[in-house]
Amino acid sequence: MISSLIFYGFHNTSYILLLIFSIIVNYYVGFWLSRFNSIENKKNLILLKVGIIFNISILFIFKYFNFFINNLSLIGINLPQANILLPIGISFYTFQQIGFLVDIYKKKSKICSLIQYATFVSFFPQLIAGPIVHHADFISQISSEKYKSIDYKKISLGIIIFIIGLFKKIIIADRISTIFVEPFYQNLFNGEKLSALSSWIGTFSYSMQIYFDFSAYSEMAIGMGLLFGITLPINFNSPFQSKSLIEYWNRWNITLTQFITNYIYSPIFKKLSCNSSKFFNNHIKSIIAAMTISGLWHGASWNFILWGLIHGLALAINHYFKAKNLVKNIPIFLKRIFLIIFINITFIIFKIPEIYLIKSTLISLIPYKQIFNINNVIGTEIYSRNSFFIFILISFIVLFCPSSLSLLGYQSINKKISIKNSIFNRYKSNSFITLSLAFLISISFLICIVFLNRETEFIYFQF
pLDDT in tens, 101-129: 999 998 888 899 999 999 999 999 998 88
| 207 and 335 housed in the same domain | yes
pLDDT at 83: 76
130 and 196, same domain (yes or no): no
Three-state SS at 384: coil
How far, CA to CA in Å, does 179 sit from each of 189, 222, 387?
17, 28, 7
Q: What is the pLDDT of residue 249?
A: 96
For residue 359, pLDDT over 80 is answered with yes
Long-range contacts of 446-452 (CB under 8 A, 24+ apart): 447/167, 447/170, 447/171, 448/163, 448/166, 448/167, 448/170, 448/171, 451/170, 451/171, 451/174, 452/170
pLDDT score for 385: 78
Of the candidate ranges 31-40, 234-243, 352-361, the one whose mean pLDDT is the lowest: 31-40
Identify the band that residue 252 occupies on the pLDDT scale cut at 50, 70 and 90.
very high
Nearest to 236 by CA among 406, 122, 94: 406
What is the band of 368 on the pLDDT scale with cuts at 50, 70, 90? low
- Max mean pLDDT range (146-155, 253-262, 428-437): 253-262
Pair (15, 90) in one structural domain? yes
Q: What is the mean pLDDT of residues 208-231?
A: 93
Q: How confident is the model at residue 144 (pLDDT cuts 50, 70, 90)?
A: confident
The one-letter amino acid code at 289 reads: A
Q: Identify the band that residue 314 occupies on the pLDDT scale cut at 50, 70 and 90.
A: very high
pLDDT at 455: 63
Shared domain check, 445 and 336: yes
Residue 437 sits in the same domain as residue 389:
yes
Confidence band for 341, pLDDT divided at 50, 70 and 90: very high
Please check whether residues 203 and 167 belong to one and the same domain.
Answer: yes
pTM equals 0.90
Containing structural domain, residue 33: 2-147
Q: What are phi and psi of 419, to 5 degrees?
A: -105, 100
Is-contact 93 120, C-beta < 8 A?
no
Q: Is residue 56 part of a domain?
A: yes
How sure is the predictor about 378, in pLDDT bands with cuts at 50, 70 and 90?
Answer: very low
More confident residue, 118 or 300: 118
State what percent of residues in the chain have pLDDT above 90.
51
Picking from 106, 124, 147, the residue at the C-terminal end of a domain is: 147
- For residue 129, being part of any structural domain is answered with yes
Q: Is the pLDDT of residue 369 over 80?
A: no
pLDDT > 70: percent of the chain: 93
Q: What is the mean pLDDT of residues 214-231?
A: 93
pLDDT band at residue 377 using 50, 70 and 90 as cut-offs: very low
CB 130 within 8 A of CB 92: yes
Q: Which of 158, 215, 30 is nearest to 105 (CA)?
A: 30
Asked if pLDDT for residue 307 goes beyond 70, the answer is yes
Same domain, 117 and 191: no
In this prediction, residue 147 carries a pLDDT of 77
Q: Are residues 42 and 164 in the same domain?
A: no
How many domains does one find in the chain?
A: 2
Query: Can you give the pLDDT at residue 414?
Result: 65
Q: How confident is the model at residue 274 (pLDDT cuts 50, 70, 90)?
A: confident
Query: Do 217 and 156 share a structural domain?
Result: yes
What is d(CA 200, CA 366) in angstroms, rounded to the nearest whole number? 9
For the segment 311-335, the average pLDDT, to the nearest whole number, is 89
